[in-house]
Amino acid sequence: MQSRKVISKPQKESLVSPVIAAILSAIIPGLGQILARVVNRGLIILASFVTSLGLLIWRIATEGSRYTGWRTVVSKAYKLNPFLYAITALMVITYIYGIVDAYLTARPGAKKSKAIGMIFLIILVFFMQGWEIGQIDMGALFRDADEAVPALSKVVWPWEKAISYPEEYRTTIIDVQTPCTDVPFPAGEIKTDEPYLIADPTCGVPSVVEVSQGTEFHVVGGNFVPGKPVEFWWKDSANREFHHRVDGDYLIVTPDKDGSFEVSVIMPYRTLTAAAEEGVKVWQIQARQLISVGKAEFSEELKLAVEKMIETIFIGMMATFFGIILAIPVSFIAARNLMSHSPVTMAIYYLVRTILNIIRSIEPLIWAIIAVIVVGLGPFAGILALTLHSLAALAKLYSEAIESIDSGQIEAIQATGANWFQVVSHAVIPQIIPPFVSFTIYRWDINIRMSTVIGFVGGGGIGYLLAQWIRILDYRSAGIAVWFIAITVAILDFVSADIRERFV
C-alpha cells in the first residue's frame, strides 16, 4: 500500500514584490498579506492589531487619567502599571513578525503556510491584555487565601446554625436622666427577692463624637445568678436598644458567689440629633442575664432556607410550564420547513426568529430587573423573567427539532391534499415528541438553577435570602442556603435523567 504525499499548492502570485509587501505591512499591519493574495490572513492581522492597539491606548488613558498632556499620561501610565511594558513589547514582536510574514508570503512560488506563529502571538497579546484588564493577581489569591478560610469553613459546614436552643434572658433595668436638673432623679433600690441595679450618679449627658466623653456611671448589681455572665445594653429615649461596648468589645461582667457585681459604664453617643434630644430625656441601663436554655429545635435560618428553596423550585417549575405553553405554538411558525411555502409565511418566519433572538440574547438576570420594576420584588418577577427567556430558548430548540424531521412524511401527507394543520398533526408532531421532551427537561433543569440566581436582583426564591445573608456576613446561614441549592440541583439532575431515560 503506497502512502500518499500531500503536496502544498503554491498560492496565487503576489500583486507586489516581497520588499513592498513588507513595507506596506510596516505602514498598515496585514496590508502586505492582503496584496500578496492571502486576504484572510491579512484581514485577521489588521483587525487583531487595530483591536489590541485600541485596548492598549484605552488602558494607558485609564491609568493616566489624572494627568494632562499625552506625554505625561503615557509616562505615568507605564510607571503606575509596569505590566503595560510587557504588552507593548509583545505587540512590537507581533508587529515585526507580521512584516517578516508579509515578506515571506509575497515571495514568488512561496507555499501557503498556516501562520501558526502569527496566530500564537496574536492570541498571546490578547491573553496578556485580558490578564491586565481583568486585574488578575495570583499572588493575592494565595497570599490572602488564609483570610478566607474562616468564612469558607462556615459555608462548607454551616450546620451549627441549623439547630438552635431557645434562650430565656432576665432583663434588669435602671433609668437615668439626661441632662441633670435641679430636681434629683430617683436612684434604684436594693431588693431582697429579685435582681436590682443601682446607678451613681442618676443623671448625666451622652458622649459627643470626637468632642467629649459622656457621664461615667458606677453601677452596682445584686441578686443575680452567680457565675453566669451579665451583658449590658442601653435603651435611648427613642426606645432603640444597642449593646454597650468598651474598646470595641461588648461589656460583660460575671456576678460573684453572692450574685453581686460592680462596674463602670460611660453613657454612649446619642443616636438622635441634638435637636431631637433637647429637653429632659430618660435612658435605660439594662443588665441581661441568661437564665435557661431550652431544648434543641430547628433554627429560623433553616426554616427560611427550606421555605425559600421550595419557592425556588416552584419559580423554575412555573416558568418552565408557561414557557412550554407559549413556545410550542411559536415554534411551528419559527420552523423554516413549515413556513417556506409563500412570501407571507417567510416574512412571518423571519419576524418571529428576530424577536426570539432578541429575547434570548438578554440574560434572565436583566429580565428579572425589568420584571421587578414592573411587578415589584418577589417570586412573580422571577417567574416572568424565566418565562420570557424559556419562551425564546424553547421555541428555538423546538423549531430546530421540527426543521430536522423527515421531510418524506410531510410530502406524503401533503400529496393527499391535507392542509397545513393536518400536515402538522399527522406528519410533524409524532416525530417531534422525543426531542421536545428532552429539550423541556433540559430547560426545566436550567430554570431551577437560574431561579437560585435571579433572587440576587429581587426575583424571589432562595437567591434573595442568600444575597441578604452574604451582605451581612452571616456565612453560616449562607452556607445552609448553598447546601440546599446543591442538594436540590443534584436531586433534580437525577430525576431529569430518569425522566429522559423513560421518555426519550
The pLDDT value recorded for residue 150 is 84
Q: At what angle do helices 39-63 and 70-80 cross, to 10 degrees?
A: 90
Rounded to an integer, what distance in angstroms lies between the CA atom of residue 115 and that of residue 122? 11
How many helical (H) and strand (E) elements, i.e. helices and strands, does the chain have?
18, 12
- Mean of pLDDT values over 396-414: 83
Whether residue 268 is found in the same domain as residue 322:
no
Read off the pLDDT band of 390 (50, 70, 90). Answer: very high
The pLDDT value recorded for residue 490 is 87
Q: How far is CA 85 from CA 79, 89, 483, in A?
A: 9, 6, 45
The DSSP letter of residue 205 is -
Residue 63 has pLDDT above 50, yes or no: yes
Rounded to an integer, what distance in angstroms lies between the CA atom of residue 314 and that of residue 379? 9
Percent of the chain with pLDDT over 70: 95
Close Cβ partners of 277 (under 8 Å, ≥ 6 residues apart): 178, 206, 237, 270
Whether residue 286 is found in the same domain as residue 336:
no
CB atoms within 10 A of CB 444: 22
Asked if residue 160 is part of any domain, the answer here is no
The alpha carbon torsion through 94, 100, 106, 107 (nearest 10 deg) reads -150
Sign of the C-alpha dihedral, residues 266, 272, 277, 282? Answer: negative
Close Cβ partners of 337 (under 8 Å, ≥ 6 residues apart): 402, 403, 405, 407, 410
The pLDDT value recorded for residue 504 is 59
Asked if residue 56 is part of any domain, the answer here is yes
Rounded to an integer, what distance in angstroms lies between the CA atom of residue 41 and that of residue 30? 7
- Mean of pLDDT values over 424-432: 80
The DSSP letter of residue 203 is B
Q: Which residues pair with 364 in a beta bridge?
A: none
Asked if residue 8 is part of any domain, the answer here is no
Rounded to an integer, what distance in angstroms lies between the CA atom of residue 174 and that of residue 424? 83
Whether residue 281 is found in the same domain as residue 322:
no
Higher local confidence (pLDDT), 216 or 147: 216
Whether residue 130 is found in the same domain as residue 76:
yes
Q: Which of 9, 13, 41, 11 is nearest to 25 (CA)?
A: 41
Whether residue 249 is found in the same domain as residue 320:
no
Asked if residue 10 is part of any domain, the answer here is no
> Of the residues 276, 293, 310, which one is the last residue of a structural domain?
293
State the CATH number of the domain containing residue 376. Answer: 1.10.3720.10
Quote the strand ranges of 201-329, DSSP E: 216-222, 230-235, 241-243, 245-246, 249-250, 252-253, 261-266, 281-293, 297-298
Please write the tens of the pLDDT for every residue from 153-163: 888 888 888 88
Q: Which of 444, 351, 449 is nearest to 397 (CA)?
A: 444
Whether residue 339 is found in the same domain as residue 392:
yes
Whether residue 200 is found in the same domain as residue 93:
no
> Of the residues 136, 158, 188, which one is the last residue of a structural domain?
136
Asked if residue 151 is part of any domain, the answer here is no
Number of domains in the chain: 3
Asked if residue 157 is part of any domain, the answer here is no
Query: Range with the lowest mean pLDDT among 62-66, 96-100, 272-276, 484-488?
Result: 272-276
Whether residue 359 is found in the same domain as residue 268:
no
Whether residue 340 is found in the same domain as residue 475:
yes
* First-to-final CA distance of the chain: 46
- Mean of pLDDT values over 446-472: 86
Average pLDDT of the chain is 86
In this structure, are residues 330 and 352 in contact, taking their beta carbons and an 8 Å threshold?
Answer: yes
CB atoms within 10 A of CB 453: 20
> Of the residues 293, 326, 351, which one is the last residue of a structural domain?
293
In this structure, are residues 200 and 234 in contact, taking their beta carbons and an 8 Å threshold?
Answer: no
Residues in the chain: 504
Domain residues for 59? 18-136
User: β-strands 245-246, 281-293: how paired?
Assistant: unpaired
Close Cβ partners of 48 (under 8 Å, ≥ 6 residues apart): 122, 125, 126
Q: Which of 330, 307, 459, 466 is nearest to 384 (CA)?
A: 459
Whether residue 60 is found in the same domain as residue 95:
yes
Rounded to an integer, what distance in angstroms lies between the CA atom of residue 477 and that of residue 308? 13
The DSSP letter of residue 119 is H
Query: Range with the lowest mean pLDDT among 22-26, 371-375, 411-415, 490-494?
Result: 411-415
- Mean of pLDDT values over 464-484: 90
The grid cell for 35 is 496584496
The pLDDT value recorded for residue 1 is 44
Asked if residue 161 is part of any domain, the answer here is no
Cα angle 10, 16, 19 (rounded to 5 degrees) comes to 100
Q: How far is CA 212 from CA 216, 219, 297, 381, in A?
A: 12, 21, 47, 51
Rounded to an integer, what distance in angstroms lies between the CA atom of residue 14 and that of residue 38? 9
State the CATH number of the domain containing residue 199. Answer: 2.60.40
Rounded to an integer, what distance in angstroms lies between the CA atom of residue 159 and that of residue 190? 44
The pLDDT value recorded for residue 273 is 60
Please write the tens of the pLDDT for every residue from 243-287: 888 887 889 999 999 999 999 999 988 766 655 567 788 999 999
Whether residue 315 is found in the same domain as residue 288:
no
Helix (H, G, I), strand (E, B) or coil at 441: helix
Please write the tens of the pLDDT for every residue from 176-235: 998 898 888 887 888 888 999 999 999 998 888 777 888 999 999 999 999 999 999 999
Q: Which residues pair with 242 in a beta bridge?
A: 234
Rounded to an integer, what distance in angstroms lies between the CA atom of residue 444 and that of residue 428? 23
Rounded to an integer, what distance in angstroms lies between the CA atom of residue 423 and that of residue 338? 9
In this structure, are residues 463 and 312 in contact, taking their beta carbons and an 8 Å threshold?
Answer: yes
Residue 9 has pLDDT above 80, yes or no: no
Asked if residue 11 is part of any domain, the answer here is no
CB atoms within 10 A of CB 250: 12
Please write the tens of the pLDDT for every residue from 329-356: 999 889 888 788 788 889 999 999 999 9
Rounded to an integer, what distance in angstroms lies between the CA atom of residue 102 and that of residue 108? 12
Rounded to an integer, what distance in angstroms lies between the CA atom of residue 440 and that of residue 422? 24
Whether residue 277 is found in the same domain as residue 310:
no
Read off the pLDDT band of 6 (50, 70, 90). Answer: very low
How far from the centroid of its chain's Cα atoms is residue 188's Cα? Answer: 54
